[in-house]
Chains A and B, each alone.
Chain A
């Protein structure tokens, strides 16, 4: 990448007009995490350090609409020096090193992992606006999600309100060089197998059959997107990712020697990881449209071609009442799907669907409020309230005389009797439970600061959570100094774990100093108190440095 950048500089010979930017962000955090039973306490001593380097306008003077080249990258160190510290009497580093015993070992975890968040060369408006490209580690964000890959992307923009995009490379995967697992599909536990082996005192796949090897994951995709009109936009995109290499399949040791790896069966070869198509569009008739109306609409879906199901869809309509108010209704459907290697695609049954109405008011330039309320539905195949009673009815009373859901135990023999009941379609009718939900958000800007309010409520038979924050920030001496505060009160209740229900009060005090446009320092002190943890403290220090030449 550096060589390419230098080559472009040399070609255009206008290095003196290029803009250089160096950005560094440091975040230090200290707090404790306890287990639900309180007997394990983890000290988090986190340090995140990023370093961003960018060179813009490699071609010389920037002119809108003309070819523009840049290079940008961002490295990140995300360390937790609290790892391994709380276990006295254990071998040093026992959480991140198997060390012969593995009593504390968590596979794949590192004390100070380094990753390249992004790093690419970009060209825009090349060939009189027809062509754009990116080479390197980059993001793609659309209806298929926020995704990162190493490779190349080419965008062709035509004069006919349409642009096409193709890209290909390797998906960023946990365990690969300078990579995290943030962008791979959920459902598979993957990571680096450093130290793994078959020797004594080494972890092996026998110990962790679910922990899969990180292998390169070739991927490609394409998209068609509208270009130009401001009142209508749409994008259809397709992406396919492959898994390669060997994957443990069977989770328990297979005594048969043939076709095994360390006693476990495995599969080798290229196979689908993700195969999806998505589409999203928005329409707004307020301005620029051939027909004018104070309304807007949006919608989209993604379809998982591997699981043969709609993974998510959303839709919404907004009406603009003058300049002050916006009213809208939205619907959102979500069915979890996973990496195609994952068994959980075949465990997924029901989606959750959220319906909401929304009102937003902008009373003045300084003051606006948004309100949202609605319902979220959850579905099951069968009625949880009566299903177990039906199971009991199929079991002979001589076997389990006092059969009751939640207290009796069905052994293998009894289970065979219930099987017919369990798989009968008439007993698996879709049943829905509903959570009510609401949000409020408000902001009031005062000169160099603002006051804000955020509140939420979600409640149903599976528990509730409600609460809100009031926060304020104020700058002084032209923003050179900053003070901030936040007060928070939340209450939650979980019927499945009543001992974990609580009301929690918290506050945050923060102070900041911005000596110039190149630096920004901020310190925050957080104190939360509730019956579960008593008092939890967290201190955060943030330092941003930025130089642009």
Chain B
């Protein structure tokens, strides 16, 4: 809907009638605004650079604003006479357009009455909490957008979507028509002021180097632009909206009748739209649940939306930080104890891990040759025997015991089958035979240790070590000590058919016990 031009002439006539009374009113308003500026709450739609965002809760979400700040004493620029140009400080210094390094929060512009605007500087007037139902879908799981995907912004403008979309019934397309043709997330979809704003506001943006505000208050720079001395010298604070680190074609979604609110929430109920109105991945998964071969395009594949490195893995390192999965995604929150937790995720969905991690990332630990101190801390060589007994961490998740462990044990003489030159004379790694080896069994007998954690034995011993006692007597060379669990005879038949080799280590082919299995 196009706006009609304001009837400036009628206002000019009316102004002439008001005379001195208006001037006194203006002075009073100026004083009031000064007092308000000194002692009242400051409001800034965006956090000051370096200030942390508010920690969200599950309840209605506060906008990502800084705590209120005290506005500077010189921040307010009262308009003494509506007919006069904004009485900005006639300082030679231009309003600083330092978009990325502004030291103070941007000030809301002043009304014609001299009082500060209270609308359009935060999503909800008075910096209130935005109800969850107005937030983008998925905000319950992710109250704030990802810093890595949507880097922090600086919005230096005042805008009331509720007034424009709600009261004035302007559709999103009126200002954001670019979205309908946009195929790249880096496209700027902010309205072109000369094509949109100028239709209703008394201002001419046709030459952005020489913007001409009209006489109507809604055409003044400070009506929309925030910041100290906004409009002074024809300059306003730069708006910083970094391009998202995402693949996203608005056109494709709009062509499929995915409307704006389905991703951005109820923006028409809000005043200023901030980063908080950007989509959440949890919301994207409302549709993006389809497999890679699906006929539609709403695939759940990670690289459908996420940027990738040349090796096909997701790009995860960004200026704002490192992209990691959210907690709710496959329970794969990369928490501080991820080393202990990741096995269950990898066991179920290693391709999910592989969307970001290369083979090398995993093999650095699981087939690594440089000891990882987070897994094997301190003097691990001295400590690992006790760790092996405790099965903490599990040796077999990274090591082949009979070679990786066994070779070193043979070299230092710990293993029973160490070469003769390294076998220690008169020394035992285990307790004395009466305690460890022979009956009657002590509480430290090897039988109990083997039953509890056989892997610890396998890291050092070969089959021959055990067959010495546990093979059958006679040709097999053992002492006939039965190592099998109870009930073994009733379950060995199938195994014997599949592979009789282990049985023949201890039993002769004609052994009566073997016939039971057969």
For residue B366, CB closer than 8 A to chain A, the reply is yes
B141/A286 in contact, CB under 8 A: yes
B486/A109 in contact, CB under 8 A: no
- Name the distance in Å between A364's Cβ and chain B's nearest Cβ: 7
Q: Provide a sorted-by-A list of 29 A–B residue pairs whose CB atoms are within 8 angstroms.
A: A33-B408, A35-B414, A64-B304, A74-B359, A95-B411, A108-B407, A129-B291, A141-B362, A182-B404, A186-B402, A247-B501, A250-B504, A282-B330, A284-B328, A287-B282, A287-B285, A306-B499, A320-B327, A323-B143, A340-B501, A344-B466, A347-B454, A348-B454, A352-B453, A412-B479, A418-B440, A435-B390, A458-B392, A489-B378
Given contacts A27-B369, A323-B55, A368-B335, contact A251 B348 (CB under 8 A): no
Residues of B contacting A48 with CB < 8 Å?
369-370
Which of B80-88, B119-127, B226-234, B421-429 lies at the interface with chain A?
B421-429
Please encode chain A, from 61 to 80, with 1 for each CB lying within 8 Å of some chain B CB and 0 for all others: 01011001010101010100
Closest to A542 in B: B370
For residue A333, CB closer than 8 A to chain B, the reply is no
Residues of B contacting A275 with CB < 8 Å?
498
User: Which residue, of B349, B382, B453, B498, has the highest number of chain A Cβ atoms within 10 A?
Assistant: B382
Residue in A56, A102, A494, A496 whose beta carbon sits within 8 Å of that of B310 in the complex: A56
A158/B435 in contact, CB under 8 A: no
A25 to B494, CA, bound (A): 47
Which of A3-11, A194-202, A497-505 lies at the interface with chain B?
A497-505
- Name the distance in Å between A427's Cβ and chain B's nearest Cβ: 10
Residues of B contacting A410 with CB < 8 Å?
438-440
Please encode chain B, from 398 to 432, with 1 for each CB lying within 8 Å of some chain A CB and 0 for all others: 01111110111011111001011110100101110
For residue B367, CB closer than 8 A to chain A, the reply is yes
Given contacts A33-B381, A163-B291, A384-B445, contact A364 B52 (CB under 8 A): yes
Q: Which of A429-451 contact B (CB under 8 A)?
A: 433, 435, 437, 439, 441-443
B300/A249 in contact, CB under 8 A: no
- Name the distance in Å between A164's Cβ and chain B's nearest Cβ: 11
CB-based closest 5 A-B pairs: A252-B477, A406-B442, A286-B328, A287-B282, A103-B421
Please encode chain A, from 338 to 358, with 1 for each CB lying within 8 Å of some chain B CB and 0 for all others: 101111111111101000001
For residue A238, CB closer than 8 A to chain B, the reply is no
Given contacts A189-B462, A250-B476, A425-B486, contact A146 B366 (CB under 8 A): yes
B308/A64 in contact, CB under 8 A: yes
B412/A370 in contact, CB under 8 A: no
A296 to B337, CA, bound (A): 17
B347/A300 in contact, CB under 8 A: yes
For residue A267, CB closer than 8 A to chain B, the reply is yes
Residues of B contacting A347 with CB < 8 Å?
450, 454, 466, 470, 483-484
- Name the distance in Å between B381's Cβ and chain A's nearest Cβ: 6
Closest to A431 in B: B448
For residue A233, CB closer than 8 A to chain B, the reply is yes
A407 to B442, CA, bound (A): 8
Residues of A contacting B200 with CB < 8 Å?
none
For residue B128, CB closer than 8 A to chain A, the reply is no
A19 to B336, CA, bound (A): 34
B443/A340 in contact, CB under 8 A: no
- Name the distance in Å between A463's Cβ and chain B's nearest Cβ: 5
Residues of B contacting A130 with CB < 8 Å?
293
A186/B400 in contact, CB under 8 A: yes
B147/A365 in contact, CB under 8 A: yes
Residue in A188, A352, A380, A536 whose beta carbon sits within 8 Å of that of B391 in the complex: A352
